[in-house]
Amino acid sequence: MPADLKKGAPMATTAPVRIPEDMLTEVKQIAAMRGSTPGDALAQAWAEFIERHRGELSEQFDEVGRLLRERDTTAFLERTRSSRRARAESAAAKLA
């Protein structure tokens, strides 16, 4: 766990985050069970997500960086479109 997420350590910054009401309720419940704040619980979850997916995220960042360095705007735009399409399809499936 990163040092700044240890219990009692001050957070580096504060930023508003919008999440669905039902998710906020769950975050508040989990935070209460753990004796922390909802913000700390979300920060912990984010840190764990990053750690778990570090390799995949690194590959994606490297690929986008390569496309930008090569000025391959066609491939860059296609990657952006396909990513947006996948997110939209995932969101639609959750609503169905």
Give per-residue pLDDT as tens, 66-77.
999 999 999 988
Is pLDDT of 31 > 90? yes
Mark 57-66 as b/e (b = at least 16 C-beta within 10 Å): eeeeeeeeee
pLDDT value of position 74:
92
Question: CA-CA distances (angstroms) from residue 11 to 19, 29, 39, 41, 80?
Answer: 20, 20, 9, 12, 32
User: Is 6 among the domain residues?
Assistant: no
User: Is 85 among the domain residues?
Assistant: yes
Is residue 44 domain-shared with residue 59, that is, in the same domain?
Answer: no
Domain of 44 in residue numbering reads as 20-52
